[in-house]
Chains A and B, each alone.
Chain A
């Protein structure tokens, strides 16, 4: 049975960490616990949670900046921003329905897992919007880095290291993000019946245009039961007059790919929400879900290989730079959920893959996260050592080198 610690202050959290250090115990770090189903199941006896470290500590709409304690629900942040017609530009997903989780997604998890949605291709990832943080390192020291201003090169930038470190470097207590005004409206152009190759070609062309496409995704017909046709979607955002102009220009330039249907604001928002949360996927029936990051023009090659090798349903986001691959478990996926085979293929194509959803026995193989190349292990160990010299946070959760 895991003991759950929910400190109410960073001081209290530091004391728990120091106590754990002294007694030689390890700690699992957690926000709302909604991503517990990702990665190697942990076997530590104590969980340190930010669930009671809540509250917005700074919000200056005219300075485009918001700061909050790490356990603050993501929805609270999104609500207050919406009241001021602003948003987190990187579009963080919650994956709540996907992972069938009961907890409350927190701002800390957005940073720790570097969660970014479809707008990542135009507005950057969570790591690009995180401008300041406070955390407690593995020695029990409260550390701050960055700040509340959006241009800051004072000292090393540790905020980006934290994004995507999945709680292996420190216990986050506070975060500061830059925010963005919400555009007046949005619209989406939808092209039908393109294969992967044509879809990626269309999406990369659209992104190489001056018309500021903010999201580009391609859904194959097999992805969900709700649709019969392949859909390739381009989102544009801004003032209405400008959108009319840009969608006309895009439609004209992309004419060789067929006729585009234009989704209005409401339909467009719903569509991208379903891409962000992968909510069209029959989550319960999905055995294995891979998130594969690669260069867009390699996506059709990877997609073809996935379809040939497995019973695969695919969604291409980030103009092909992200493949969501839902695979059915079969003898082909072997014990490791196809981890070795997928990564072997990526060694040739470039990129990396993370297993987001899998049965426990597959997760126990410890291959959910992409093992870094051998020559990188020195750097990665140096970083881990410098933050968590005694290895007390989320032990063995992220591999430090291949073969671990």
Chain B
């Protein structure tokens, strides 16, 4: 594959034994993985085309340990790749050979739940779904819901500022975090925010969330929890053309109704998801919308009626409101397992650009052309309400030529997203995957401003170093 990963620093590799010995003094033996066969389990995240075996995997259990590990690594110039559950689709947790993986998977405690103030304080390794599971019996939930929510950790969500299907109404990670405990590269432990609103001084929470693990290690988070709606009900709406589906989305939002979610699937995606989940998706439409509303029975019925009425102008061939809890869960199971279901029939690269929703029909047409011109197939599954696209480029990972074609097609699609006024990544992050495309969206001066912050907080560029910024044009890391 064609994304450059720098050769490991041999002076570090040669000091491996010394470095491992140092780490073993900080954490207990069962929190330190050093055998190559075992480290191999951490060689990739969900961007499986890229693999590197780290020098060691360290799985601390306390913030204090994280601080000592980071301090040690800084003193010995060892690179650190932070890792949550390794579900990144952008290679955000891809290891480096001359560095360690610092995983938070042993930090899974829920520390405090405060219903009166609607907050929960958790360790960073807790999974997204486990926050909701902990508060659901009392009628609350944690809103951002990435498709990988059963596995992904809040640490990873914070690193990538993850979204999900329901962020149209509830916002993304950065809108739902009130406080963080952060370990800086020199080992300093800082608390940002807390259980109050807004920041004294600069909004450092906003800076850290989405910084892809490059500015510090998050060990704890205070998240906002919300009262569950009385009920939620999805409906399916089928169209014979993507254009009409896109226009219908714009009309619904323009009318003043913001559904909790509006998801879009094209024909290839519908087929795969239906085969997998038997959700009751129609197989004879070109585009399918899943539209979900919330409220009391009466409110939901009223909203869905309004939406159905608006949709009539766009000639839907199907409007079907879910009739039961079971049907609703199947509808969402189909959507949420889309990537997994697709993976059963083909290898794929999942794109993540966002576009202004008005350009949707044009962009879908161009995506189709781009992918075909490279001799590949595509399935589209995405968040239509906010224009966050997920074209899945289908290819054979064992065919080097197809791999290259897929990467090329992917790059062209992302450039298209930028060209129409959008961006390279809506919710997955840049990682290594989109690193070299950053200059499409940003000028060197834009990137210099971002990198100036990186250099100020991590002067030796040891934290997740090969990600986010193109390798060319980086400032010289400070010498040890």
Contacts and interface: CB of A to CB of B under 8 A. Distances in A.
Contacts of A153: 160-161, 163, 172, 210, 425-430
A375 interface: yes
A401 to B, nearest CB: 9
A370 B194 CA distance: 15
Interface string B193-205: 0111111111111
Contacts of A400: 201
Interface string B201-216: 1111111011100000
A141 B302 CA distance: 52
Interface in B112-141: 114-119, 139-140
Interface string A381-404: 011111100000000001110000
A181 interface: yes
B196 A149 contact: no
Contacts of B430: 153-155
Interface in A131-167: 137, 141-145, 147-161, 163-165
Nearest to B207: A161
B295 A321 contact: no
A117 interface: no
Contacts of B424: 154
Contacts of B427: 151, 153
A241 B163 contact: no
Given A152-B423, A379-B190, A157 B174 contact: yes
Contact of A150 (B191, B296, B386): B386
A60 B192 CA distance: 35
Given A149-B422, A154-B423, A157-B206, A370 B453 contact: no
Contacts, number: 264
A125 interface: yes
Interface centre among B424, B429, B434, B450 (most CB of A within 10 A): B450
A147 B422 contact: yes
Contacts of A369: 200-201
B110 interface: no
Interface in A10-69: 60-65
Contacts of B209: 157
B452 interface: yes
Interface in B357-400: 357-358, 383, 386-388
B194 A296 contact: no
A382 B202 CA distance: 11
22 contacts: A62-B250, A85-B256, A114-B198, A125-B197, A143-B445, A144-B443, A145-B450, A149-B426, A153-B427, A159-B206, A208-B115, A208-B116, A208-B139, A210-B230, A293-B198, A379-B202, A382-B453, A382-B457, A383-B207, A383-B453, A387-B452, A398-B201
Contacts of A128: 171, 174-175
A71 B450 CA distance: 25
Contact of B358 (A62, A152, A184): A62
B211 to A, nearest CB: 5
B27 to A, nearest CB: 24
B211 A156 contact: yes
A208 B194 contact: no
A144 B446 contact: yes
B442 A155 contact: yes
A151 B354 contact: yes
Interface residues of A, number: 85
A95 to B, nearest CB: 16
A210 B297 CA distance: 13
B478 interface: no
B421 A148 contact: yes
A246 to B, nearest CB: 8
A259 interface: no
A64 B253 contact: yes
B356 A151 contact: no
Contact of A63 (B200, B229, B357, B446): B357
A385 to B, nearest CB: 6
Given A141-B445, A382-B457, A151 B227 contact: no
A326 B145 CA distance: 42
Interface string B441-462: 1110111111011111100000
A161 B202 contact: yes
A133 B5 CA distance: 32
B254 interface: yes
B228 interface: yes
Contacts of A294: 196
Given A62-B358, A293-B197, A376-B190, A164 B202 contact: yes
A149 B423 contact: yes
B446 A152 contact: no
B255 interface: yes
B184 A164 contact: no
A372 B256 CA distance: 41
Nearest to A153: B161
A153 B213 CA distance: 13
A351 interface: yes
B32 interface: no
Interface string B333-370: 00000000000000000000011111000000000000
Nearest to B299: A242
Given A157-B207, A398-B201, A379 B184 contact: yes
Contacts of A144: 442-443, 446
Contacts of B230: 210
A258 interface: no
Contacts of A65: 356
A124 interface: yes
Nearest to B167: A151
Contact of B195 (A204, A295, A370, A380): A295
A244 B116 CA distance: 25
A64 B257 CA distance: 12
Given A141-B445, A157-B161, A158-B207, 7 more contacts: A145-B449, A156-B210, A164-B199, A181-B256, A297-B117, A379-B184, A379-B204
